[in-house]
A and B are shown apart, each in its own frame.
Chain A
Amino acid sequence: MSMAPDAAAAKAGAQLASNRPWSGLGATSEAVWGDCAGSAAMPYRAAVDLRAPAFKCSCPSRKFPCKHCLGLLLMFAREPTSFEPVPAPAWVNEWLDTRSDRADRAGRSTRPRTAAESERITLMQERRARQREERVAAGIEELDLWLRDLVRHGLAELPQRPRSTLEVPVQRLVDAQAPGLARHLSATWEPLHASGGWVDPLLMRLGRLQLLVEAYRRIDRVPETMRAVIRSSMGFAEARDDVLRGDVVRDRWLVVGRRFEVSRANLRSRRTWLRGADSGRFALLLDFAAFGQALDPQPSVGTRFEAGLAFYTGAPLRALIADQTSEPESASTLGAGHGLRAGLIECASLFAREPWLESAPLLVESVRLGRTELGWFVVDADAASLRLHPKAAGWALLAASCGEPIQLFGEWSDAGLLPLGMSGPDGCESVATATSGT
């Protein structure tokens, strides 16, 4: 709304967004468009270029952007599902093309950099990288001292300590530009606020955090691929473009589970798990949006599409869709899964590569839901049982399974299996985290 030219336009835009006089709504990654029935005989055609916000509308308003474009954007933010993910119609494409041409011309018109300038820029970049390495190293030393102090005096009194004193070292790691390590440390304290015993889960996490610290100290002595994993876990991010330039894995990818999270900073994230029908490989698509903003529409759980995925070197489960070559079609199951024992062995190999991983994907076959006073669990055909995460939507799973064996996908961690997708008598469904019945 900060784009609105004045309060009146903002209000009118908001009204149009809720008013829905719209038809022919559509969206691509580049633009959104729609026809808005107004006071004229013909509906106004409004479009917004999402690459660099730009607006086009056939209405006579002299305000810019006009209320139709604002309404369109707001609605896209609130209800992206109303927008068909179809190719842009001609009038939108023409407009986008003229805009790209203009942008290109503007780009060319700037004076080319001189050799000296380029060299200076490279030098500055190198210096910044070196500074960051130094800061991270210093941050790790500080954390090491802090942890040693912690175990010297014992952890028994942790639950009584004010939360803020445990947040201090987390913040120090953020300042030291090691956000990945900071996140791991912050996750280490989570069992203190959860119900149930905190000692074992917290120490398990602390141990694996220590492993990451030690690994980073020895980073010069590990193989190249391992190095990338360690750096990525510390928080050295890979650029999206670099990932997309890497090798691409082609497969028929089946959406097996999805989870939404809202962070403390009100950032919404979406974790979508895919599994290759041929490779059996898991892939995690991560998307973020500021609160109130929409995430791009994505195929639903239980659908399959052909695509090439580009995996991150440093986070080998995480991937980007490089190119999608077919429309999603629905599948009858989530693909071939394992019994619990075999599934956990697969998880173990992921933890062997990245022991500090928070959770690992797990797809299991023919499990029945069970429940004791300790909570929900699943039992497979070999009578092996595995407990579900406290946030698992046990009742929803039981209702969807009718008490029969189902196929279950979820994230497995020391806290249990958190189901995110299932396939049962009604076909494939996504599973939300629990809100009900317990």
Chain B
Amino acid sequence: MSDWQSVTAVALVGTARRSLPDLPEGLPEGDPEQSLLRALAYLSVNRLVSAPLPSFDQPRWPACPPDPRPLPPAAARARLAILLDSDEPGLVGEWLRSANAAGCRLPGTLLPSLLDRALTDLRSIRSLVLAVAGQRGRWLAAQNPLWSSLALFADPVGAFREGNRAVRVQAFEQIRDDDPGQALGLLTQIWPAESTQMRTELLGCLARGLSDVDEDFLESALADPAAAVRAVAQDLLCQIPDSRFLERMRRRAQNLIRMRRGRTGPRVDVNLREEYPPDLVADGFPSRPPRGPGLKAWLTAEIVALTPPDLWPLDALAGFLESEWAGPLVTGIVRAVARFGHREWAEAVLLLSARPNRGLGLEIDVRALALGLGEAEREALVLTLIGRAPVLATEVLRHIQEPWSEALSTAALRDLRVLANTSDGLSRYLQILYAARLLASPGVVPIAEALLEGADRRGLESVLQRLIDTLRLRSQIHEEFERS
């Protein structure tokens, strides 16, 4: 009686070079080749049906916490499977947003594909995936080392104490999101032992869930030996309304700048002595002013930049421009507007940049201005700009990553259409239409269709068609969550 191994050994080297072992009884006679093939035939079936079932204890996985949220409706689940296969990643985001809004969890079988996507995609998708994936997503990611970098730590404090730099920062973010107070306590504890870079990054994490509880610690960080850490501390203190730091900055600014009414409008005087005020050092400023710009110019810009712009009436801008210190004043106010996010000032500054010869050669960072504003204010800003300076409106609109409101979607499509009459404007308008696919409200389909009817340029036609298709698909996604 021969076994599988001895027969396959002959099959590998060939019957020409090795003779056959004894073959199973009862097989028909034949030449060596035939006999070998028949032995394989006989043994293979035997081997197949007597496949071993090794004994193994049932594996125990850590318990997966239950998720009380309902599954999405069947149509929505089927849609997600299709979207994951398609080449329009933005629509997966749309699905996730709808699921999040409907309070649904993810179907388990699709979790792995979404975690993979969260690994590679933009941060915006990542946080959405993590929100919808919920407890089960965290549980699953903990089982696969590939997904561990999704900052889903079962034990974030342990990861924070033992991980490498990137892991520590992610773990700290998670701790901060779960319990801001615990994160602050942990940071206070380890603070003196950390490197400058680590201190800078960890302190930056306090921006999540920032509150006046953090103020004392941030005040102490103003005395940090590293300028980068002090800058983060200043920045965060600016985000705590009515912090002591802001109060001090307001007082400084009021002493620095005196406003009075002139015949043609407000006049501004800058009131500084030629020496470096020693109290600035305690508020995180360098111990000596930097070389280069004059002391007065530098200080003026710095102080204005760290003061909430609502300290000044809006028409102070005209006074700034007339002033002998116009350059530093405008530089400062632009930075302050970006930092504190003030819609009316943002509008004023942006319109200033659009006025020829009045921008003082200043490059205005539209992105920073746009991102400094809250979501609703950013929209309101675009809506006012659309009528007054459409090109500028597109500049701000480009930096809006959240879904547009119905009003904004309508205005962007219909009122920016005038841009398409010039070739430079056309490419701007096309960019807006392209962004509108994923951001505009699906309710504007009729407007897009009307535009398509009147489309006289080739590029416009195809982009509008694509816009309409995608908007339709998006409203289908929404509807599938409503039907249950």
| Chain A positions near chain B (C-beta within 8 angstroms) | 15, 18-20, 81, 147-149, 151-156, 199-200, 203-208, 210-211, 214, 300, 340-341, 344, 347-348, 351-352, 355, 368-371, 377, 379, 381, 383-386, 393, 395-405, 414, 424-426, 429-432, 435-437
B144 near A154: Cβ-Cβ < 8 Å: no
Look across to chain A and name the residue whose beta carbon is closest to the beta carbon of B46. Answer: A207
Residues from chain B with Cβ under 8 Å of A355 in the complex: 45, 48
B191 smallest CB distance to A (angstroms): 38
Q: Does B113 contact A (CB under 8 A)?
A: yes
**13 more A-B contacts (CB under 8 A) besides A19-B472, A154-B16, A355-B48?**
A152-B14, A156-B13, A204-B48, A207-B37, A208-B41, A211-B41, A370-B56, A385-B54, A393-B109, A395-B140, A400-B109, A403-B64, A432-B109
Bound CA span A340–B58, Å: 13
A113 smallest CB distance to B (angstroms): 48
Bound CA span A370–B45, Å: 27
B41 near A207: Cβ-Cβ < 8 Å: yes
B472 near A20: Cβ-Cβ < 8 Å: yes
Residues from chain B with Cβ under 8 Å of A368 in the complex: 58-59, 61
B379 smallest CB distance to A (angstroms): 29
Given known pairs A214-B41, A414-B48, the reply for A153 and B16 (CB within 8 Å) is yes
CB-defined A-B contacts under 8 Å, sample of 22: A20-B472, A151-B36, A152-B15, A152-B33, A203-B44, A204-B47, A206-B11, A206-B40, A207-B42, A347-B49, A352-B49, A368-B59, A385-B54, A396-B110, A396-B111, A396-B113, A397-B109, A399-B112, A401-B108, A436-B116, A437-B112, A437-B146
B469 near A379: Cβ-Cβ < 8 Å: no
Q: Does B55 contact A (CB under 8 A)?
A: yes
Given known pairs A207-B43, A351-B48, A385-B54, the reply for A81 and B78 (CB within 8 Å) is yes
Residues from chain A with Cβ under 8 Å of B112 in the complex: 393, 395-396, 399, 436-437
Q: Does B53 contact A (CB under 8 A)?
A: yes
Look across to chain A and name the residue whose beta carbon is closest to the beta carbon of B5. Answer: A200
B134 smallest CB distance to A (angstroms): 12
Residues from chain B with Cβ under 8 Å of A432 in the complex: 81, 109
Bound CA span A204–B51, Å: 12
Residues from chain A with Cβ under 8 Å of B17 in the complex: 154
Bound CA span A151–B14, Å: 5
Docked complex: B12-34 residues within 8 A CB-CB of A: 12-17, 31-34
B116 near A426: Cβ-Cβ < 8 Å: no
B33 near A154: Cβ-Cβ < 8 Å: no
B108 near A351: Cβ-Cβ < 8 Å: no
Residues from chain A with Cβ under 8 Å of B250 in the complex: none
Bound CA span A431–B17, Å: 48
Residues from chain B with Cβ under 8 Å of A206 in the complex: 11, 37, 40, 44
Docked complex: B171-223 residues within 8 A CB-CB of A: none
Given known pairs A403-B64, A414-B48, the reply for A435 and B113 (CB within 8 Å) is yes
A236 smallest CB distance to B (angstroms): 21
Residues from chain B with Cβ under 8 Å of A436 in the complex: 112-113, 115-116
A193 smallest CB distance to B (angstroms): 18
Select which of B8, B55, B140, B469 is within 8 A of A384 by beta carbon.
B55
Bound CA span A166–B55, Å: 39
Select which of A19, A152, A156, A414 is within 8 A of B12 by beta carbon.
A156
Residues from chain B with Cβ under 8 Å of A199 in the complex: 8, 12
B37 near A151: Cβ-Cβ < 8 Å: yes
Q: Does B378 contact A (CB under 8 A)?
A: no
Query: Which of A206, A377, A395 has its CB near the most chain B CB atoms (within 10 A)?
Result: A395
Binary contact readout B53-85 vs A (1 if CB under 8 angstroms, 0 otherwise): 111111111111000000100100010010000
A424 near B14: Cβ-Cβ < 8 Å: no
Binary contact readout B100-140 vs A (1 if CB under 8 angstroms, 0 otherwise): 00000001111111011000000000000000000010011
Residues from chain B with Cβ under 8 Å of A205 in the complex: 44
B33 near A402: Cβ-Cβ < 8 Å: no
A344 near B51: Cβ-Cβ < 8 Å: yes
Bound CA span A344–B17, Å: 38
Given known pairs A211-B45, A385-B53, the reply for A200 and B8 (CB within 8 Å) is yes
Given known pairs A206-B40, A210-B38, the reply for A398 and B33 (CB within 8 Å) is no
Bound CA span A381–B63, Å: 18
A396 near B108: Cβ-Cβ < 8 Å: yes
Bound CA span A331–B144, Å: 32
B109 near A399: Cβ-Cβ < 8 Å: yes
Docked complex: B451-475 residues within 8 A CB-CB of A: 465, 468-469, 472
Residues from chain B with Cβ under 8 Å of A344 in the complex: 49, 51, 53
B14 near A153: Cβ-Cβ < 8 Å: yes
B34 near A399: Cβ-Cβ < 8 Å: no
A402 smallest CB distance to B (angstroms): 4
Bound CA span A181–B57, Å: 41
Q: Does B384 contact A (CB under 8 A)?
A: no
| Chain B positions near chain A (C-beta within 8 angstroms) | 4, 8, 11-17, 31-34, 36-38, 40-45, 47-49, 51, 53-64, 71, 74, 78, 81, 107-113, 115-116, 136, 139-140, 143-144, 146-147, 465, 468-469, 472
B55 near A426: Cβ-Cβ < 8 Å: no
Residues from chain A with Cβ under 8 Å of B16 in the complex: 152-154
Residues from chain A with Cβ under 8 Å of B81 in the complex: 432
A351 near B45: Cβ-Cβ < 8 Å: yes
B38 near A383: Cβ-Cβ < 8 Å: no
A186 smallest CB distance to B (angstroms): 17
A437 near B40: Cβ-Cβ < 8 Å: no
B248 smallest CB distance to A (angstroms): 53
B449 smallest CB distance to A (angstroms): 9
Bound CA span A328–B87, Å: 32
Residues from chain A with Cβ under 8 Å of B61 in the complex: 368-369, 398, 402-403
Residues from chain A with Cβ under 8 Å of B31 in the complex: 148
A402 near B45: Cβ-Cβ < 8 Å: no
Bound CA span A300–B74, Å: 10
Query: Which of A204, A344, A347 has its CB near the most chain B CB atoms (within 10 A)?
Result: A204
B115 smallest CB distance to A (angstroms): 7
A15 smallest CB distance to B (angstroms): 7
Select which of A81, A153, A383 is within 8 A of B55 by beta carbon.
A383
Select which of B40, B53, B64, B146 is within 8 A of A402 by beta carbon.
B64
Select which of B49, B55, B59, B108 is within 8 A of A399 by beta carbon.
B108
Residues from chain B with Cβ under 8 Å of A379 in the complex: 56-59
Query: Which of B8, B58, B465 has its CB near the most chain A CB atoms (within 10 A)?
Result: B58
A19 near B468: Cβ-Cβ < 8 Å: yes
Bound CA span A152–B10, Å: 9
Select which of B8, B40, B57, B108 is within 8 A of A426 by beta carbon.
B108
Bound CA span A402–B139, Å: 9
Look across to chain A and name the residue whose beta carbon is closest to the beta carbon of B63. Answer: A403
Select which of B11, B45, B51, B64 is within 8 A of A203 by beta carbon.
B11
Given known pairs A385-B53, A399-B108, A399-B136, the reply for A154 and B113 (CB within 8 Å) is no
B53 near A341: Cβ-Cβ < 8 Å: yes
Residues from chain A with Cβ under 8 Å of B57 in the complex: 379, 383
B59 near A402: Cβ-Cβ < 8 Å: no
Select which of A210, A348, A399 is within 8 A of B37 by beta carbon.
A210
Bound CA span A414–B55, Å: 18
B33 near A431: Cβ-Cβ < 8 Å: no
Bound CA span A383–B111, Å: 28
A208 near B44: Cβ-Cβ < 8 Å: yes
Residues from chain B with Cβ under 8 Å of A398 in the complex: 61, 140, 143
A81 smallest CB distance to B (angstroms): 7
Residues from chain B with Cβ under 8 Å of A399 in the complex: 108-109, 111-112, 136, 140
B118 smallest CB distance to A (angstroms): 12
Residues from chain A with Cβ under 8 Å of B11 in the complex: 151, 154-155, 203, 206
Residues from chain A with Cβ under 8 Å of B47 in the complex: 204
Look across to chain B and name the residue whose beta carbon is closest to the beta carbon of A39. Answer: B453
A400 near B116: Cβ-Cβ < 8 Å: no
B338 smallest CB distance to A (angstroms): 41
Look across to chain A and name the residue whose beta carbon is closest to the beta carbon of B75. Answer: A81
A424 near B108: Cβ-Cβ < 8 Å: yes
Residues from chain A with Cβ under 8 Å of B144 in the complex: 395, 437
A353 smallest CB distance to B (angstroms): 11
